[in-house]
Amino acid sequence: MTAALGTMLAPLNSTMIVVALPDILDRFDRSLTWGSWIVLSYLVAMASVQPLGGSLGDRYGRRRLFLIGLTGFLAATVVAALSWQIEVLIVARTVQAITGAIAIPNGTALVRAFVPTGRQGRAFGSIGAWIAVAAGLGPPLGGILTDSLGWRWIFAANVLLIGPALVLALRLPAEAQQRVGRFDLRGAGLLMISLISLALALTVWKVTAVAVAVVFAAVGLGTGWWLLRHVRRVDRPVLNVSMFQRPGYAPATLAVMLSNLAMYTLLLSLPVFLTRDVGWSSSQVGLLLAGMSLQMVVFSPLGGTLSDRLGRRAPAVAGSSLLIAGVAPFVGIAASWSWYAYLLPLVLIGMGLGLSSAPVQTTALQAAEHGETGQAAGLFSTMRYLGSILGSAGMAAILSGSRPPVSDFRLLYILLLMAAIAALVATSRLPGPLPFGRAAEYSPSPQQERGGD
């Protein structure tokens, strides 16, 4: 529950703010460009800092970094609620993302540290269900708070999650600090510069000149090349690229990136089509999208349980297959569809994402050594956010103009179908059935882990 509460902060804050954006822009009398930066600053910072946050947790204690991240997120939430200028709000949102990126991978790593191996799939399935609850509640909750009390009150919802998470985290056993050698400060700097630059290259062209995006891309690729050379020369790098060579880690991270790309892009684009081409209201669209989120709440724990019993591959492949079945009908999307023609594919998508999320995440974390679990969780989460960034950038490139034609939506959904098929290929490379008796094995105790990091 501790990890679930901390992890719920990310989807809740990324979905609530979208509903409140019109009121925020009206309050500060700013254009939609500023609204894009309110969203992008959070997304880019969250994607860029998570590997570093996880690496710090591996070194200085995951419980300690989890508490620091939650406390920082709470402080940034207060500043965001009291923002007197839109620039202050953007900075506060960015700090929220940075501190959240410190807390989230370390909360996930705590599951690996304290939950027995045979129950980790179910644990991650439960976390996935709570994430789905947060994502599903974000838009309606943000709309209700904004309409009744004002946009500043959307940040009050964070207190309901952070308060209990802090109390529960303080009750967990403390981990010993692992100060082995010098901290890879140069690698940390290169990692952040590379990820932030590449993320901005994919998004900044929407609010400024394309040449600026090219410059960011060049900086990101250059520092990334420097980082790869650097990590091969140090004993304990901030980013251990050898994790991608561990069985299951590369396909797991690729699967989560592609699945999230398909899901997130569909969530962004479908409301545009339904409101402008079909004439649906915002409340009708919200209820439709809830059909997908509710399936994730139900099927995420089921996917975790099946992965503990059958191995990681089977439920992940089944989930990816359902994702394909759900995305495929949208290739022929039309304004003349009945409401259930939109709902049934979304139900399949929610079922598929629920079944696959826990086995994919469990595979990624179990591929890492215990001393690298936080770093593995951070990099895994970054790949998830990279899918969101790629999807939003692709949608903006394809759906141009104030009223894109139906053919543009169909082209976008063809690309999403290709991403879903690629996700199926990735999940087919996950580990197969567990050897007899493996589910009964237990992870090292916290005391053993402190001695082995």
- Reported as a single tens digit per residue, the pLDDT across 361-373 is 888 877 777 666 7
Q: Which residue has the higher pLDDT, 432 or 222?
A: 222
Residue the block writes with tokens 């904004």: 146
Q: Which amino acid is at 130?
A: W
Q: Are residues 64 and 70 in contact, defined by beta-carbon separation less than 8 angstroms?
A: no
Tokens of residue 67, six digits: 């508490």
> Cα–chain-centroid distance for residue 227?
24
CB 387 within 8 A of CB 259: yes
- Which residue has better confidence, 369 or 101? 101
Topology (CATH) of 2-183+238-452: Growth Hormone; Chain: A; (1.20.1250)
> Can you count the helices (H) and strands (E) in the chain?
15, 0
Q: How confident is the model at residue 272 (pLDDT cuts 50, 70, 90)?
A: confident
Q: 299, 304, 294: which is closest to 322 by C-alpha?
A: 299
Tell whether the model's pLDDT for residue 203 goes beyond 80: no
| pLDDT for res 123 | 67
**Rounded distance, CA 117 to CA 123, Å?**
10
Residue 239 has which token pair?
A: 């980013």
Letter for the amino acid at 208?
A: T
* 298-308 pLDDT tens trace: 788 888 888 87
pLDDT in tens, 283-298: 677 677 777 877 877 7
What is the CA angle 291-293-294, rounded to 5?
Answer: 70
Closest CA to 27 of 146, 109, 127: 146
Cα–Cα distance for residue pair 365/23, rounded to 1 Å: 40
Q: What share of the chain is helix, strand, coil (3-state, %, to 5)?
A: 85, 0, 15
pLDDT at 7 over 80: no
Give residue limits of the domains in the chain. Answer: 2-183+238-452, 184-237
Q: Report yes or no: 314 and 366 within 8 Å, Cβ to Cβ.
A: no
* Secondary structure class of 403 (helix, strand, coil): coil
Mean pLDDT to the nearest integer, 69-77:
86
Could you tell me the pLDDT band of residue 128, with boundaries at 50, 70 and 90?
A: low
167 contacts 40 by C-beta, under 8 angstroms: no
Average model confidence (pLDDT) across the chain:
77
Q: Which residue has the higher pLDDT, 381 or 333?
A: 333
CA separation, residue 180 to residues 28, 227, 286, 371 (Å): 49, 21, 50, 11
The pLDDT-based confidence of 374 (bands split at 50, 70, 90) is low
Name the phi and psi angles at 261, rounded to 5: -60, -45
Contacts of 106 (CB under 8 A, 6+ apart): 53, 54, 57, 62, 63, 65, 66, 69, 374, 377
Q: Which two tokens mark 34?
A: 């500023």
